[in-house]
Amino acid sequence: MFVDEADIHVAAGHGGSGALSFRREKFVPRGGPDGGNGGKGGSVYLIADPHRNTLVHFRFTPEFAANRGGQGEGSMRTGRDADDLVIPVPVGTTVYKHDPFVPDSADEFADLTRIGERVLVAKGGRGGLGNAHFATSTNRAPRKHQPGEDGEESHLRLRLKLLADVGLVGFPNAGKSTLIARISAAKPKIADYPFTTLTPNLGVVTLSNARSFVVADVPGLIEGAHDGHGLGHQFLRHIERTKVLIHLVDVSGASGRDPVEDFDTIRKELELYSRELLRKPELVVANKIDAVDDPVRVTKLEARAREMDLRFIRVSAVTGEGVPALLEAAWPHIAAAREAEIAAQALLDEEFAPTAAGAGREPDAPDPDYNPALVPPRKGKDSRRK
C-alpha cells in the first residue's frame, strides 16, 4: 500500500523529579541534604531512512512517546537520562506542525531530503533539582526540591514527496507507464483503459558513461483535476522536486481528443496546482508515433510547442523509436540542476560551519544562562504523565 500522507502525535519524556533526602549514617552527625537531581527526559527525532519508501507504518501507529528521566535519589545520585526516540521516515518527507482542531493550520517545519538527515520534533524535559542543590549557609536542611520539566508534545503532519529527477505528466493512457517500463526496470501496471496507474511509480534509467537518473510516473491528469475530478492533484506533489518534466501527449487518434487541447489542458492544471512546475524545463513528447493516422495532429502539436519555445520530440514507447534521443535530451537539464544543487549545498555548509569558538561545543549543550532553581514547578499532579 502506498501512503504519502499521515498525521502523528509525538511526546517527549518528562524530566525526572529531584530527590528530597538527608544523609543518615552512623557516626556522621548532621549529615545534611543529599538529594540528587532528576534525569533528562528522552527527546523525539525524525530521521530520513533510505529503507523506507512509504508512510504506511504511521497509519497503524500514530502515537509515539519517549521515556521519562529517572528520579533523583539519595547519596547525591542523579537519575538516569532517558534514551531519545528516533523515528525513521522516507527520504523526501516534509514535516508540518499543525493543530488537529484547526483546519488548514499546518506550518512547514522541516524537509528531510538527504539520507541520515534528522530533526528534533519534541524536546525532552530537564530533570528537577534535588534538595542538596538548595543548601546554603543559612538553610542547611532545605526541604525544597523540584519536579522535572514537562516534555514537549507536537501534532505532526507528514507528507512524502518522492525524490526523482524526471517527472512524467500527461492524460490517462498517454503511455507514461509504457515509457517508464521501456526505459527502466520498473514494472507498472499497463492496460488500455484510463487510470491504470493509481499510485506513483519510480524507475532508474541508466545511460552510457555511468550516467543515471530517477523517473517518476504519476497518475494521469484530466481537466478539472484541481476541483477533484479524476484522481485530483493529490499526486502532483511527487513531481515538485523533479528537475525536468516530460509531457507525454497521445497523437495516435485512438483517444478521440485533440493533442493540442490535451497539451494546453495539462499545462493549465499544472499551473493551477503550482506555478513553480511551469518554471521547470519541459520536453513535449508526441507519443504513439507508430500509430498516427493523421500527420496533421503531430505537426499542430509541434507548432504549439515551438510557439512556447519548448523542445519537441517524437517517440513510440512501444517500439522504442525516439526514446534514446528523449533520454539524451533530458540529461543536460538534470546535470545542470545537480551541479547547482551541489554548489548551493557547499555554500550552505560553509555558512553553517562551526567557528573556532564553538567548534568543541556539543549540539545539545545546555543553555549557560539556564538556572533550574528558577523553573516553577508543575501545577497539579494530573498534568504529569505516569
Which grid cell sits at 5? 500522507
H or E segment and range at residue 205 = strand 201-207
Angle (deg, nearest 10), helices 259-273 and 295-307:
40
Q: Please, what sign has the CA dihedral across residues 109, 152, 60, 82?
A: positive
C-beta separation of 287 from 248 below 8 A: yes
Q: In sequence order, what are the beta bridge partners of 90?
A: 49
Q: Which of the following CATH numbers is that of domain 1-160: 3.40.50.40, 2.70.210.12, 3.30.465.10, 3.40.50.10170?
A: 2.70.210.12
1-160 and 166-342 in the same fold: no
Residue ranges of domains in the chain: 1-160, 166-342
Q: Does position 116 have pLDDT exceeding 60, yes or no? A: yes
Q: In sequence order, what are the beta bridge partners of 313?
A: 285
Alpha-helix runs per DSSP H in the chain: 57-60, 176-183, 259-273, 275-278, 295-307, 323-351
Cα–Cα distance for residue pair 48/30, rounded to 1 Å: 55
**pLDDT (tens digit per residue) in 151-178:** 999 999 998 888 889 999 888 888 888 8
pLDDT at res. 342: 85
Which grid cell sits at 270? 499544472
Global confidence as pTM = 0.74
Helix (H, G, I), strand (E, B) or coil at 131: helix
Q: Does position 371 have pLDDT exceeding 70, yes or no? A: no
* Length of the chain as a residue count: 386
pLDDT at res. 355: 54
Superfamily of domain 166-342: P-loop containing nucleotide triphosphate hydrolases (3.40.50.300)
Angle of CA points 145, 151, 153, to nearest 5°: 155
pLDDT at res. 360: 45
Cα–Cα distance for residue pair 91/41, rounded to 1 Å: 27
**pLDDT (tens digit per residue) in 253-287:** 777 788 999 999 989 988 888 888 889 999 999 99
Which grid cell sits at 378? 508543575
Helix (H, G, I), strand (E, B) or coil at 16: coil
Of 64-73, 94-103, 155-164, 362-371, which gets the smallest average pLDDT? 362-371
Which grid cell sits at 187? 514494472
* Torsion angle in degrees (nearest 10) through CA of 337, 342, 348, 354: 170
Q: Give the residue among 174, 213, 214, 166 at the shortest CA–CA distance from 190.
A: 174
